[in-house]
Structure 1
Amino acid sequence: MGKNCYNSNQRNALLRQIQELEFAAVELNLYLDNNPNNINALRDYNCITEDLMAAKKKYEMMFGPLTNFGYAKSKAPWQWVNEPWPWE
C-alpha cells in the first residue's frame, strides 16, 4: 500500500470520527435543550466536545483546515483552496 493510499485511509478515518462525534454532540445538545438538569448527559456532552476538538485539531495539523472562516490558522500558501476539500 502506497503512502498516498495510507494518507487517504487515515484522512477518511479521521473525517469519519469527526462526523460521528459531531453527530453525537448535536444529539446531546438537543437532548440537553429539553433536559438541562441531566448531569450525566452534560458530562457526556462535554467529553464528546473535548474529543471532537482534539480530533479536529489533529486533522488540521495533518491535512489542513476543515473550514475557511477563522476556525483554523493556515500555513503559507493559503491551504483552503487545495484539494481535497473536507466534504469530498
Structure 2
Amino acid sequence: MMHHSPSCSRAQLLQQINEVSFAVDDLLLYLDTHPCCEKGMALYREYAEKRKKLMKEYAECYGPLTIDNALETNADTWKWMEQPFPWEREGGCR
C-alpha cells in the first residue's frame, strides 16, 4: 500500500515530470556546447533536483516510473512489476 498523499493528481504529476524532464534534456544539450556556462549549470542543477523530487513523489504515490526510483515506494515488496506497463495505461497505444 502506498502511504504518501500526492500534492496533485497522477496526470498533473506526470505532466510536471514531462515538463521538467524536457528542460533537463534541453539544458544537457545546451551544456554540451557551452560547458563553462555557470548559469546553464545552475539551471541544470535546479531542474534536475526538481525532477528527482517529482519522480520520488510519483514513486511513493503510484509506483516507480523508472528503475532508478524502484525503491522509493515505501513498500516492503518489489513494486516494479505490479503496476501497468505504459502501453496498458489509459491513452496508451492499444
Q: What's the TM-score bracket when you normalise by the shorter of the two chains?
A: 0.7 to 0.9
Cα 1:25–1:39 shift into 2, 3 Å: same
Q: Which residue of 1 aligns with 2:42?
A: 43
Identity %: 35
1:38 CA drift (Å): 0.8
Unaligned runs of 5+ in 1: 1-6
Rounded to whole Å, the distance in 2 between the matches of 1:26 and 1:80 is: 25
After TM superposition, the score normalised by the length of structure 2 is: 0.71
Deviations 1:14-56 (A, max 9, x none): 0110111111000000000000111111100000001000000
Q: Which residue of 1 aligns with 2:31?
A: 32
For the 8 Å contact 1:66–1:86, the answer to whether it is kept is no
After TM superposition, the score normalised by the length of structure 1 is: 0.75
Moved over 4 A (4+): none
Structure number with higher helix proportion? 1
Question: Which residue of the other structure, out of 70, 73, 87, is the alignment partner of 1:72?
Answer: 70
Cα 1:77–1:61 shift into 2, 3 Å: same
Ranked by relative contact order (alpha carbons within 8 Å, sequence separation 6 or more), the top structure is: 2
Cα 1:78–1:57 shift into 2, 3 Å: same
State how many pairs are aligned. Answer: 80
The Cα RMSD (Å) is 2.3
Paired amino acid for 1:72: A
